[in-house]
Chains A and B, each alone.
Chain A
């Protein structure tokens, strides 16, 4: 009798792991639109936030910032058009093939081993490296969250961003 109970439990466990396949649905950018209707974006009221922004990451703790940026990467369609303000380290990625520079604000987690880069496009005419700060300098950027497709992948960026280099 006991044997059958254990087998039944093991079967339940096996079934559950199969159910886990659903996690992929949410992480797949093409399918995330399905979840948008079900999950309304919650932006808690933050009295310390910059009124010009919809989501002010500069007033959150670093653990919260990292988690919020991760949420933005998982379901970018929920944040399209929102004005985001973020603080982090200035970072540049140069694409050799397209000979193009990508600029990002780097946000580290509490253990400082994981980081999320939030790409931004500085509004106005600026030349790299003359007009930009040194890599690793702390900057605050504010821009409109948008997504774009490149080489079959979806990327997130802040458009028309303002940038302030912190002292």
Chain B
């Protein structure tokens, strides 16, 4: 045990491990804050859809040879988030069908573009890395870390500033509208923040596992706690602990970072489910 601790202390002296931990915990915190709202509003799969859009956008950035792919990935993902919300409300293709359509469409087009036009010698490695995160979080540069920190601070600040409005539209959108809350504008805000989190979280767990980061902590917290605030606090704590634990386990025992974090989330979900079952 002391050997493991010594190894861990030694690993934490590496700058890339410190960067991974800072960014990982911030992403986990952000995703858990929004997760509760998304789950309660039945938007759990919007994260999945948007992450696939981000994958497609990343492929386009790669094909165009754009060095900083955030310039393409972020606007496309934000635009898709807005379109998904609008499409869900007003057109013949409703909610889940629109998400599914955009999700698989973007994934297929992204993979197709990567295969047809990629200049990389290791396409399968690139795809695997983007879909499952691989060790992306452990290969961040200092400017990327700062970008993640600033974006995370914006997400947290927006959530705290508009907490009461988000609470209102999460539980009863029609009532919120009747009381003068501009629900459409706040839905748009939630969509934009969700898109931001998706783009950030692709580094941590990859685009296929992002939904887990959004839904598992919220669902776990909902097993035990009942008020909106307590669920959000518990969800944030679970998410941060699982992300930290996942990163530590992956560097100690050479497991893939993304799936280790999700495995920790699943384990906590079952523990909380058991607690709620015993309480009944």
For A135, what are the chain B residues with a Cβ–Cβ distance below 8 Å?
none
Chain B 25-68 interface mask (CB, 8 Å, partner A; 1/0): 00000000000000000000000000000000000000000011
Q: How far is the CB of A77 from chain B (nearest CB, A)?
A: 14
Could you mark each residue 6-33 of chain A with 1 if its beta carbon is under 8 Å from any beta carbon of chain B, else 0? Answer: 1001101100111111111111000000
Point out the residues of chain A lying under 8 angstroms from B132, CB to CB: 111, 113
Q: In the bound complex, do residue A16 and residue B151 qualify as a contact, i.e. CB atoms below 8 Å apart?
A: yes
- Judged by a CB distance under 8 angstroms, whether A63 is at the interface is yes
Interface residue SS majority, chain B: helix
A130 within 8 A of B: no
Cα-based distance from A20 to B132 in the complex (angstroms): 23
Whole-angstrom CA separation of A98 from B71 in the bound complex: 38
Given A17-B75, A111-B128, A114-B128, A2 and B143 touching (CB < 8 A)?
no
Cβ of A109 and Cβ of B135 under 8 Å apart?
yes
- Is B68's CB under 8 angstroms from A109's CB? no
Determine whether A126 belongs to the interface, using a CB cutoff of 8 Å to chain B: no
Interface size range of chain B in the complex: 35 or more
> B62 to chain A: closest CB distance in Å?
14
A16 touches B150 (CB 8 A): yes
Shortest Cβ distance from B243 into chain A, in angstroms?
Answer: 15
Q: Please tell me which stretch of B109-117, B184-192, B223-231, B269-277 contacts chain A, meaning at least 4 of its Cβ atoms lie within 8 angstroms of it.
A: B184-192
Mark out the residues of chain B between 234 and 280 whose CB falls within 8 Å of any chain A CB in the assembled complex: 250-257
Q: Is A129 an interface residue (CB 8 A)?
A: no
Known A-B contacts A24-B67, A25-B143; the reply to A10 vs B192 at CB < 8 A is yes
A110 to B255, CA, bound (A): 5
How far apart sit A9 and B192, CA to CA, in the bound complex (Å)? 10
Contact A71 B16 (CB under 8 A): yes
Over the window 1-39 of chain B, the binary record of Cβ atoms lying under 8 Å from chain A Cβ atoms (1 yes, 0 no) is: 000001000110111110010000000000000000000
The reply to whether B143 and A111 contact each other, CB–CB distance below 8 Å, is no
Flag whether A45 is at the interface (Cβ < 8 A).
yes
In Å, the complex CA distance between A63 and B253 comes to 8
A52 an interface residue at 8 Å Cβ cutoff?
no
Would B74 and A70 count as touching, CB distance under 8 A?
no
| Cα A46 to Cα B10 with chains together (Å) | 7
Cβ contacts under 8 Å, A39 to chain B: 15, 142
Q: Which of B137-190 contact A (CB under 8 A)?
A: 138-139, 141-144, 147, 150-151, 154, 158, 182, 185-186, 188-189
> Is A140 at the interface (CB under 8 A from chain B)?
no
Bound complex: CA of A7 vs CA of B74, how far in Å? 16
B-chain residues with CB within 8 Å of residue A6 when the two chains form the complex = 185, 188-189, 192
Are A26 and B141 touching (Cβ within 8 A)? yes
Selected from B16, B78, B144, the residue in CB contact (under 8 A) with A13 is B78
A-B contact pairs, 7 of them (CB 8 A): A2-B185, A19-B150, A24-B67, A27-B67, A61-B251, A64-B251, A111-B132
Instruction: Given A13-B78, A27-B67, A44-B11, output 20 extra A-B contacts at Cβ < 8 Å.
Output: A9-B158, A17-B70, A19-B150, A20-B70, A20-B71, A26-B141, A39-B142, A44-B10, A44-B13, A64-B11, A66-B135, A68-B16, A71-B139, A74-B141, A110-B135, A110-B250, A110-B254, A110-B257, A114-B128, A115-B122
B interface with A by C-beta (< 8 Å): 6, 10-11, 13-17, 20, 67-68, 70-71, 74-75, 78, 122, 124-125, 128-129, 132, 134-135, 138-139, 141-144, 147, 150-151, 154, 158, 182, 185-186, 188-189, 192, 196, 250-257
